Structure 1
Amino acid sequence: MDARQLWLRFEPYHDVTYFTPESRAATDALGCKGGWMGYFGMRAAPLGAASPELVEAVFYNFAPRMVRRALPDAWEVATPAEFLRARLEGVDGALRRLLGEGGVDAPEVAEAASLAREAALAAPPGGRPLAAANRALDWPEQPHLALWHACTILREARGDGHVAALVAAGIGPCQALALYAREHSLDPAYMRAARGWTVEEWEEVADLPGDLPSVEEATDRAAAAPWEALGETGTTRFVELMTPLALRIAAANEAMRVNPMALDPVRELAVPGWNT
């Protein structure tokens, strides 16, 4: 199974981190001014009280002005440690709602957590700042949260590798979004708004060439190590366990309807006989 198909299994589980009512409630309780301050605070918190410049660099495709509306002000609202506690609280609440109390306690979740942890710890941290920062955090004890933590490390490791591939290909942040929107028939206005770019900035790069398929191939190669370490048997079992979880979460999470990643797990992972 290719790396994109594996990504489709763990990305929906990770995405409850930011785009659920529980996540928004947790950061609102901290005193965040809007959902994006909560997003940048929670995602950047493993790095410590990161500067806007650092976050612009490692998140890559957000316009600097969008980052600077949230940072460094977020660190005046709450410490990185408080953001980390809030994101875990939001994740726990979201997963309990989306999977049900019986779902989070299912033995399949514990088995998936064990496999995902093995894979995540095999992701090389070198050159992967967000993955390395998340890996350095304490692992949650509850299996459904340990699974989320492993998925987060795997997701950020893949993302770090993708940024490296874009830089190597000479494709800038706004240009990458414009190319991706064109390739996946995404609305440019939606993509600009989702990442904070102006019409003028978009038009400057909209017609620039760029070989995104080659970037995706490089991203997949860079993301292969965890699955090579897990082996064919372990990877196959991980897919079996994560597919119904990804489908259930994607079907119930409104953020999965439209997103800048063109991610549609319900369509791409649907299997005969599956239902929510």
Structure 2
Amino acid sequence: MPREREEAVGDKAARVMWERYEPVHDLIYFAPEAREAADGLGMRGFWMGYFALRAAPLGAVPACVVTSSFYVFHPARVARALPDAWRYATPAEALVAREQAMDAAMTRLFGADVIASPELAEAADLAWEAATAANTAGRVLAAANQALDRPERPHVRLWQALTTLREHRGDGHFAVLVSLGIGPVEAMVLKAAADEGDARLLRETRRWDESAWQAAEDALRELGWLDKDGALTPTGAAGRRAVEARTDQAAEQPWAALGADATERLADLLEPLARTVRESGLLPSGNPVGLARTAGR
């Protein structure tokens, strides 16, 4: 690995690793196999399947718990899916279905040779070590995923480990937002203003009405974070950078536990997988995770 890459990974491990693992994790949202798995369980529509598959590690908790854990969704969006989803399949059945979906999606996308390679098995073991070492105190989604059994198949084990790490980062991000008084809608307004997602898509998919979005914009203008046109001011841009920096800081612990050399090795092993996902066209433009624009990077 070039010295420049070593320093980048070492200095900003949480950010670098997020850019590697997020595309692979996102297969559960955008790969057709995930929708097929949810439909096979009897779920009614994309959103019921989304909430059932992602929330399954929590068990059959009420909608309010999932709303809190996922942070940015309107309570009505979640309540349309849960607990109704558990009439069609149990959380345990949803967990089996999502493993099967990721097995199929990763095999199709990466190819049988990659799936069976020693490099992928090595990546799975390194990622599992980092996920197992993650401190999940105060991180409900991460803890629920961390508690799941270790999948036997390396590529499925890799996906599950990356999902634990992703939810660990997300839980920490929400804690940062709460500490700064940035609510769910304000968080999405900032994401859109930072060109990390399409404002209309964020608002409509999370089911917030225009008045809630406008109120969030007004609140951010009062803070001096947005200008009259809805763009980030210098103060807002600095605030946004601070949120991301604190999120990165909160996500460093698993990588410190894994160690610099192993983290750098995992980054190298994940890069071609992430690139394949980014270049596949599965991540739609303007998607909420903000990664489609990184295709080819």
Please give the range of the TM-score, normalised by the shorter of the 2 chains: over 0.9
Choose which of 203, 207, 211 in structure 2 pairs with 1:192.
Answer: 203
**1:231 equivalenced with 2:242 (yes/no):** no
1:113-160, Cα deviation, whole Å (9 max, x unpaired): 111111111210101100100111111011111111110110000000
Shift of 1:185: 6.3
**2:66 aligned residue (36, 55, 62):** 55
Alpha-carbon deviations, 1:161-214, whole Å to 9, x = none? 001000001000011101111122643211111211111111111132362222
Alignment partner of 1:83 is 2:106? no
Distance 2:163 2:200 in 1: 28
CA distance in 2, matches of 1:185, 1:94: 26
- Give yes or no for the alignment of 1:144 onto 2:144: no
Count residues with an aligned counterpart.
269
Matched residue type, 1:187: D
Letter in 2 for 1:261: V
Gaps (5+ residues) in structure 1?
A: 271-276
* CA RMSD of superposed structures (Å): 1.4
Is 1:29 matched up with 2:57?
no
Question: Could you tell me how far apart the structure 2 residues matched to 1:32 and 1:228 are?
Answer: 40
Shift of 1:85: 0.9
Distance 2:196 2:39 in 1: 34
Contact 2:139/2:171 (<8 A) preserved:
yes
In the alignment, what sits opposite 1:213?
241
The structural deviation recorded for 1:5 is 1.7
Tell me, yes or no, if the aligned pair for 1:247 and 1:266 is still in contact at 8 Å: no
Identity %: 49
Name the structure 1 match of 2:79: 68
Query: Is the 1:20–1:253 Cα contact (8 Å) retained in structure 2?
Result: no
Q: Give the AA of the match of 1:102.
A: D
Instruction: Answer whether contact 1:128 1:157 (CA < 8 A) is retained.
Output: yes
C-alpha deviation, 1:256, in angstroms: 4.7
SS in structure 2 at match of 1:255:
coil
Matched, 1:42 2:70: no
Q: Distance in 2 between matches of 1:265 and 1:184?
A: 10
Q: Which residue of 2 aligns with 1:263?
A: 291
Unaligned ranges ≥5, structure 2: 1-8, 226-238
Work out whether residues 158 and 222 of structure 1, in 8 Å CA contact, stay in contact via their aligned partners in 2. Answer: yes
Query: Is the Cα contact below 8 Å between 2:197 and 2:287 reproduced in 1?
Result: no
The TM-score with structure 2 as length reference comes to: 0.87
Structure 2: distance between partners of 1:129 and 1:185: 25
Please state whether the residue corresponding to 1:201 is helix, strand or coil.
helix
Stretches (4+) displaced over 2 A: 207-212, 255-258, 264-267
Q: Quick one: distance in 2 between partners of 1:40 and 1:96?
A: 24
Task: Tell me by how many angstroms 1:18 deviates.
Answer: 2.4
Q: Relative to structure 1, is the Cα distance of residues 170 and 222 closer, same or farther in structure 2, using a 3 angstrom cutoff?
A: same
Distance in structure 1 (CA, Å) of the matches to 2:241 and 2:73: 21
